[in-house]
Structure 1
Amino acid sequence: MSFYTSITGLKNAQTDLDVIAHNIANSETNGFKKSTASFADIVSASVLTDPKLTVGIGARVSSIKQNFALGPTEQTGSALDVAINGEGFFTVVDPTSGQTEYTRNGAFSVGGGGYILTDQDARLQVFPVDASGAISSTTLQDAQIPGTNAAGAEYAGVTISSTGQVVATYADGTNTTIGILALATFIAPTGLKQMGDASWKATGVSGAANYGQPGSSQFGSLLSGTLERSNVDLAEELVSLITAQRDFQANAKAIDTASQISQTIINLRT
């Protein structure tokens, strides 16, 4: 039994190494959130087993949990680089699949059609506004900048305020609010499904998204000209890497010891 018990330890150590390696590989990925592997013991016993003589039979992976702590911020000076100072996710939609995703990576740009896009060409979502710039509906829409304003002046630039107003500037000096950026929060963010590219999708575990304006209620405010970096601490990950390596070696040694004992018994019988 010791062989199979130690094999579970080897597999768990390998899983821990995989998680740590993934964290280290994404230490420079904007908006990335590190993960931590947790383990639980396995005990096989029946109602007739003496609890004082119960022996465990190994361990298993109980969860790989994401850590959504804020990462450090870096000033870039770009008007469309935005970081969330607090809770919330940017809401984006893939125009091809229509799938809604959530991200903390606020590195946006303006595409040829006037849409504000992520690096993966997903469209940023905003609340529509009325003539006074107030939210007119809770139904989200693509953030799209008209190429010219009502007077025919050409588009000159765009800014995003700390409370989410997306304001387009035109050559005649006028400004137009095209929407208010929509942030999303979740009851259980650790239940979000990782989609890659530092983005997530809602699941039954995370619950449905709750949308709101930046700077209101539990939603964080925005930092324009700033990006949130990965929350991976390399020093911490390297220490965890050494620990996982030692766990792997210890379990491998246990298998080697069991093998030597088995070989000794076989030699005695022969």
Structure 2
Amino acid sequence: MSFYISLSGLKAAQADLSTIANNVSNVNSTAFKKSNAVFGDIFAAAPMQTTTQVAGQGVRVQGISQQFTQGTIETTDKTLDLAITGEGFFTVKRVGDNQVSFTRNGAFSVDENRNVVDTTGAHLQVIPVNPATGIPTVTVNNSLTSASLVDLQVPTNWPAGGTTNQLTSVGVGQNGMITGVYADGSTVYLGATAIAAFNSQEGLRQGGDAHWTSTSASGTPMFGTGNSGLYGAVRSGALERSNVDITEELVSLISAQRNFQANSKAIEAANTLSTTIVNMRT
């Protein structure tokens, strides 16, 4: 039995090492969220058995939980580099299958069609607004769905399709409102960044590239604008770094390595005892 107990310990230590290694390898990944391995003991006894005389049967991995703590905000010189100081997520839609996902990676740029896209090519979603007043053209409340959102497009000229007034600058407010200033001095409201919040962030499903999708465990996304409630404020010209503390991870790595070695020693000791018993008759 001790072989299997120590074997479960080896598997648990290996899972811990893999989790820590993934954290360390993504220390420079924009908006990466570190993970922790969660363990639980295995115990079983018959209904009439005295539990004080029963040893445990090992350990199991209960899950790998992500830590959605705020990463360090790094200042950049690009207007469309956006960071959220809070618990919200940017909403993006993948081209082709229209899959909606959520990200903290605000490294946005403009493609050849003047659509604002993230590092994976997905289109940034915004709440449609009146170009002259900036007032949303849809009701912004808890019933707002992703179907009401639109792709953010930054026209080179205004009115769109014209050739007279060319774009001179783009601005993003703390509430996520994107504005364009054109050659005649007019300011055009292009849309309000759709920030998504969830009842349970830990229930989100990872998709890689700092993207997540909603599940039944996370609850349906609640859309809103920045700088209000739990959506957080939007900072232009900044990016959120990984929340991995490299010093903490290296200490955890040493601890996981020691756990692996200790379980290996337990298997070695059990093997020595078994060998001694088998060789008693010889």
TM range (shorter): over 0.9
Structure 1 stretches of 4+ with a deviation exceeding 4 A read none
Select 2:158's aligned residue among 149, 164, 167.
149
User: 2:33 corresponds to which residue?
Assistant: 33
1:74 aligns with 2:74: yes
Cα distance in 2 for partners of 1:261, 1:49 equals 27
CA deviations 1:58-102 (Å, max 9, x no partner) are 000012110000001110021011111112000001012211111
> What's the secondary structure of 2:223's corresponding residue?
strand
Partner of residue 136, structure 1: 137
SS in 2 for 1:163: coil
1:230 to 214, 233, 242: 242
Q: Does 1:44 align with 2:56?
A: no
- 1:159 counterpart letter in structure 2: G
Return the match for 2:192 from 166, 174, 180: 180
Deviation at 1:246, TM superposition (A): 0.2
Matched, 1:201 2:213: yes
What is the CA distance between 1:156 and its match in structure 2? 3.1
Once the two structures are TM-superposed, the CA of residue 144 in structure 1 deviates from its matched residue by 1.1
Question: Which residue identity does 2:178 align to in structure 1?
Answer: V
Shift of 1:158: 1.8
**TM-score with structure 2 setting the length:** 0.93
1:189 maps to which residue?
201
Measure, in 2, the Cα distance between the counterparts of 1:106 and 1:52: 55
Match of 1:22?
22
Pairwise mapping of residues 53-132 of structure 1 onto structure 2 (< 5 A)?
53-130=53-130, 131-132=132-133
2:268 is aligned to 256
CA RMSD of aligned residues (A): 1.1
Within 2, Cα distance between the matches of 1:45 and 1:172?
Answer: 80
The structural deviation recorded for 1:28 is 0.5
Post-superposition offset of 1:172 = 2.8
Tell me the distance in 2 between the aligned counterparts of 1:2 and 1:260: 12
* Paired letter, 1:34: K
Number of aligned positions between the proteins? 270
Aligned AA for 1:195?
A: G
The residue matched to 2:249 in structure 1 has which SS? helix
Q: CA deviation at 1:27?
A: 0.4
Following superposition, the deviation at residue 219 of structure 1 comes to 1.5
- Partner residue in 1 for 2:225: 213
Secondary structure of 2:77's match? coil
Instruction: Give SS of 1:157's match.
Output: strand
Residue 172 of structure 1: SS of its match in structure 2? Answer: coil
Q: TM-score, normalised by structure 1?
A: 0.97
Structure 1: how far apart are the matches of 2:270 and 2:168?
73
Q: 1:207 & 1:68 partners in 2: Cα distance? A: 16
Q: Distance in 1 between matches of 2:171 and 2:108?
A: 11
SS at match of 1:23: helix
How far 1:146 sits from its partner (Å)?
2.1
Shift of 1:105: 0.8
Equivalent residue in structure 1 for 2:183, among 171, 176, 194: 171
Structure 1: how far apart are the matches of 2:166 and 2:281?
92
1:157 is displaced (CA, Å) by 3.1
Residue equivalent to 1:161: 173
Residues of 1 paired with 2:208 and 2:225: CA distance?
26
Report the AA paired with residue 187 of structure 1. N
Percent of aligned positions that are identical: 46
Shift of 1:41: 0.3
Separation in 2, partners of 1:223, 1:145: 19
Unpaired runs of 5+ in structure 2?
A: 139-143
